[in-house]
């Protein structure tokens, strides 16, 4: 956990089989997105200041719908059109981010890795 949220801990978790990731939401309102097979952190962001107390899978988008204590409804989804390009171009903190993007695109039939397939 980051130094500014010492003592934070996961309260909700949702596997997203369609993309091979897991969403984890913490007590302090942080969203973590991990790639499942290698447990690689893809994304971390604080999404709310209020405790999220209920969540369910969104069957339409394979994402997650949450409600926090303030009554806000949050929809958490993977942007399929930009998922692979995000891993390649933005998530440079990941060791072998290009290799991971290639594996995910191949395994889950995702777009955005056309140049990698040609190479």
Per-residue pLDDT of the chain (119 residues; tens, 9 = 90+): 667 778 889 999 999 999 999 999 999 999 999 999 989 999 999 999 999 989 999 999 999 999 999 999 999 999 988 899 888 888 878 888 888 888 888 888 888 777 766 66
Residue the block writes with tokens 């973590």: 32
Q: In the prediction, which pLDDT does 110 show?
A: 83
Q: In the prediction, which pLDDT does 65 show?
A: 96
Radius of gyration in angstroms for the set of CA atoms belonging to the chain, rounded to a whole number: 15
Q: In the prediction, which pLDDT does 42 show?
A: 93
Pair (73, 15) in one structural domain: yes
Pair (71, 87) in one structural domain: no
Find residue 52's DSSP bridge partners: 68
Range(s) of the domain holding residue 54: 1-77
Q: In the prediction, which pLDDT does 119 show?
A: 62
Examine the fold and report which residue of 77, 92, 109 is the final residue of a domain before the chain moves on. Answer: 77
Q: What is the DSSP string of 36-84?
A: TTTTEEEEEEE--SS-EEEEEEETTTTEEEEEETT--EEEE---TTTHH
Pair (67, 83) in one structural domain: no
**Number of folded domains that form the chain:** 2
Q: In the prediction, which pLDDT does 22 show?
A: 96
Pair (11, 62) in one structural domain: yes
Q: In the prediction, which pLDDT does 72 show?
A: 95
Pair (61, 97) in one structural domain: no
Pair (48, 68) in one structural domain: yes
Nearest Cα to Cα of residue 55 among 37, 46, 43, 68: 68
Q: What CA–CA distances, in Å, run from 80 to 16, 50, 66, 100, 109?
A: 12, 28, 20, 15, 10
Pair (43, 67) in one structural domain: yes
């Amino acid at each position: 956990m980051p130094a500014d949220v010492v003592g934070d801990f996961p309260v909700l978790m949702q596997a997203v089989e369609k993309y091979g990731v897991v969403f984890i939401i913490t007590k302090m309102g942080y969203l973590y997105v991990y790639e499942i097979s290698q447990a690689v952190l893809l994304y971390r962001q604080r999404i709310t200041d209020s405790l999220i107390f209920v969540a369910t899978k969104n069957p339409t988008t394979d994402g997650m719908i949450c409600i926090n204590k303030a009554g806000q409804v949050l929809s958490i989804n993977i942007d399929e059109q930009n998922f692979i390009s995000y891993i390649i171009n933005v998530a440079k903190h990941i060791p072998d981010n290009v290799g991971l993007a290639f594996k995910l695109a191949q395994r889950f039939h995702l777009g955005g890795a056309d140049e990698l397939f040609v190479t």
